[in-house]
Copies of this chain bind each other. A is one copy, B any other.
Amino acid sequence: MNTKQKILDEALTLFSEKGYANVFVGDIADRVGIKAPSLYKHYRNKQAIFDAIIDEMNHRFEEQAQAMQIDGTDASHDAGIYEHLSEDRLLEIGREFFLYYLHDDYNRRFRKMLTIEQFHDRDLAKVYSKLYIDAPLSYQGALFGFMAVSGILKTDNVEIMTLHFYAPIYFMLTVCDREPDREGEMLKLLDEHIRQFNRIYGRKE
């Protein structure tokens, strides 16, 4: 990893733990293994480092959104995968999804950083809501919509069903970000949540 990228990486780690204002340019430089003034050869100032982190996430998001065709045209394929879905398989998928977003270093650090900085300005608020509110509801909603059409799920309000699936997951994710020791407790709750969700909205056997 080159220095320019390593700066972003170490800055993200620090920002996610202490917040932008509590991280000093010297702290970032220390972790990169250079002195603070050297850092200014790579970024104009401290704010430019923060901005580059946001830009990178926006870039990754766009790429992923394109790969998933989030506009809905192809969520039908995913729904097909779930067509013959047992409760056990549903649990496995939910657990994998949850643990990926919880443990993936990049996602975890970025989410925590945005949690701290979300009130700093409107743009950051929008990024937070896009990533953790609207995109998940939109993508899972599209998927559940197809599953409802296929009769795998039963509802007359896909939007609320999606909220009932995702809001508890979001809730548990924020608990684990704040208190990592509660991961076991939350995983148990996650299982019960998905089982109950399946009982409520799942196809009756």
User: Which residues of chain A have a CB within 8 Å of any CB of chain B?
Assistant: 16-19, 21-22, 112, 115-116, 118-120, 125-126, 128-129, 133, 157, 159-161, 163-164, 166-168, 170-171, 175, 177-179, 182, 189, 192-193, 196, 200
The 8 Å CB contact of A164, one of B16, B119, B164, is B164
List residues of chain B with CB within 8 A of the CB of A128. 178
List residues of chain B with CB within 8 A of the CB of A133. 171, 175
In Å, the complex CA distance between A160 and B21 comes to: 39
Q: Is the CB of A178 within 8 A of B19?
A: no
List residues of chain B with CB within 8 A of the CB of A126. 179
Q: Is the CB of B171 within 8 A of A189?
A: no
In Å, the complex CA distance between A166 and B170 comes to: 12
A115 nearest CB neighbor, chain B only = B115
List residues of chain B with CB within 8 A of the CB of A171. 133, 163, 166-167, 170-171
In Å, the complex CA distance between A171 and B166 comes to: 9
Closest Cβ of chain B to A97, distance in Å, is 16
Closest Cβ of chain B to A155, distance in Å, is 8
List residues of chain B with CB within 8 A of the CB of A21. 19, 21-22
The 8 Å CB contact of A119, one of B157, B168, B178, is B178
Q: Which 9 residue pairs spanning A and B have beta carbons closest together?
A: A21-B21, A167-B168, A167-B171, A167-B167, A160-B196, A125-B178, A160-B192, A21-B22, A163-B168
**Besides A119-B178, A160-B192, 11 other A-B contacts (C-beta < 8 A):** A18-B120, A19-B19, A115-B118, A118-B178, A129-B179, A163-B171, A163-B189, A164-B193, A164-B196, A167-B170, A170-B171
